[in-house]
Chain A
């Protein structure tokens, strides 16, 4: 029903507006005295040196890649799960085959060593 989505739009606007108000309200009361020492980036008390954007560990990328595959798989499984009651019995077998194919992909990634955090 369209009015439900309007409510969600209103709720999202309110949910974004409230933290913005809550974060901007203390600016009226709190002090604002920036100094060079206060604004130094924290590195356990010593001066920061070197490049801030350090070299990226490649394992993060591999985890994100595998997450992407399984996340899209779960999105595909939602309509299957919802309509399982109306489909014939063979639909269960089809869905199970789909899950097993991706499950085999997970086992392959596991055996290849892609899921080890070094």
Chain B
């Protein structure tokens, strides 16, 4: 009962081999089945997540969320899907047809493909490759390409400008994300995701490397386009955006890819910093590992939604200055500090809690110092204070002047 997934897998394997297939073919069929199952699971999860997000947004904004489409509005996502299915695909004149149609598919595929390497439990792993982190970083960059393709092929100058700005922001925030991912790799001495989770057994990397966790969360929120880095969505509201010319299911793909990307960021955060599937009794009962994994991911998802619904949008130049002048230098200094501290402590070989304590204290010192230094620097754009001026008073009756 505890090892449910592997029990089902070996039963299916014996069944297919019993039907006369060779062992390699049975393995192949099982792998196809497994990947189809994970992709369907992703789609089903997104349907629930959209409902959670809309209800949460309503409650934080002092209103009900959707509550008409079923008890507590739980069928709202289904109604939206059915509506999107029946909309017409309007392709603008002069649009590049090939790129126009590939862009939503690529946006969705780049997020789905990250799920291939996730370890859900101690022996429920899709692909336990030894370069899991590099694979995640590489595949995650394809979504940026999809945005540029969508903006360029729409034959719309606002879409192109919106896409260019979005891409400038996304590639800028990829660097602190990758550097923050380097730190768990450094601490676990391996790029394999299962090895990173094993290295977090006594203490999560959230405690050992808090700056890396914080910067990974911030840059991932910029990567998925959630507030306060709302530029990708704000463009849609204000002028236009990279997906302005899309209708129907093509727009639906961008929409679903955004929610799935947010959940995937939650999953990455749990694997690298919150211990993945580990928890009480998870090593002996794999089904518990799966439950812990999805619960932690959901908690991080809720935290990202919470931050998104509480903060206003920041400007593009403030956003880029934050990245290049604060996040990247502090990420590099953090990497240097973690590397030196880890190697030096490895030579001295103290007890585990001393190691964790030293790393935590050093990280907090670095964070507070960098915040202090950043608070002392002058902002790039000077804020000019205008003197208070009466604006709704006619000149004759304005006795404050003259």
Residue numbers of A with Cβ under 8 A of B are 1, 3-8, 10-12, 14-16, 18-20, 22-23, 25-27, 29-34, 36, 38-44, 50, 52-54, 56-57, 59-60, 63-64, 66-67, 70-71, 74, 77-78, 81-85, 89, 91-92, 95-96, 99-100, 103, 106, 110, 115-117
Chain A residues within an 8 Å CB radius of B39: 14-15, 18
Question: Complex: how many Å from CA A103 to CA B329?
Answer: 7
Question: Complex: how many Å from CA A28 to CA B135?
Answer: 36
Q: Give chain B's interface secondary structure class.
A: helix
Task: Tell me if A23 and B101 are in contact (CB < 8 A).
Answer: yes
B189 in complex: contacting residue of A53, A57, A84, A89, CB < 8 Å: A84
Q: A11-B113, A26-B86, A67-B174 are in contact. List 15 more A-B contacts (CB 8 A).
A: A4-B127, A7-B126, A8-B126, A10-B28, A15-B113, A23-B104, A23-B249, A26-B249, A43-B157, A44-B239, A63-B171, A70-B328, A83-B189, A115-B325, A116-B380
Within the complex, the shortest CB–CB distance from A77 to chain B, in Å, comes to 6
Chain B residues within an 8 Å CB radius of A18: 39, 43, 108, 112
Task: Tell me if A25 and B85 are in contact (CB < 8 A).
Answer: yes
Task: Tell me if B336 and A42 are in contact (CB < 8 A).
Answer: no
A85 in complex: contacting residue of B155, B174, B189, B253, CB < 8 Å: B189
Task: Tell me if B380 and A96 are in contact (CB < 8 A).
Answer: no
Q: Give chain A's interface secondary structure class.
A: helix
Which residues from 155 to 188 on chain B have a C-beta closer than 8 Å to any C-beta of chain A?
155-158, 160-161, 164, 167-168, 171-172, 174-175, 178-179, 182, 185-186
Task: Tell me if B320 and A41 are in contact (CB < 8 A).
Answer: no
Task: Tell me if B185 and A82 are in contact (CB < 8 A).
Answer: yes
Question: Can you name 30 A-B residue pairings with CB atoms under 8 Å?
Answer: A4-B127, A4-B129, A7-B116, A8-B116, A10-B31, A10-B35, A18-B43, A19-B109, A23-B105, A26-B85, A26-B87, A32-B88, A33-B88, A34-B90, A39-B92, A41-B155, A42-B158, A43-B158, A56-B164, A70-B175, A74-B175, A77-B179, A78-B134, A81-B182, A92-B339, A95-B339, A100-B336, A106-B329, A110-B325, A115-B321
Task: Tell me if B189 and A103 are in contact (CB < 8 A).
Answer: no
Task: Tell me if B189 and A8 are in contact (CB < 8 A).
Answer: no
**Stretch from B4-12, B268-276, B340-348, B368-376 that touches the partner:** B340-348
8 shortest interchain CB distances as A-B pairs: A15-B112, A11-B116, A117-B317, A19-B108, A4-B127, A81-B186, A11-B35, A19-B105
Task: Tell me if A71 and B178 are in contact (CB < 8 A).
Answer: yes
Task: Tell me if A22 and B90 are in contact (CB < 8 A).
Answer: no
Within the complex, the shortest CB–CB distance from A100 to chain B, in Å, comes to 8
Question: Complex: how many Å from CA A14 to CA B175?
Answer: 29
Q: Given A89-B347, A115-B325, check contact A52 B116 (CB 8 Å).
A: no
Task: Tell me if A103 and B171 are in contact (CB < 8 A).
Answer: no
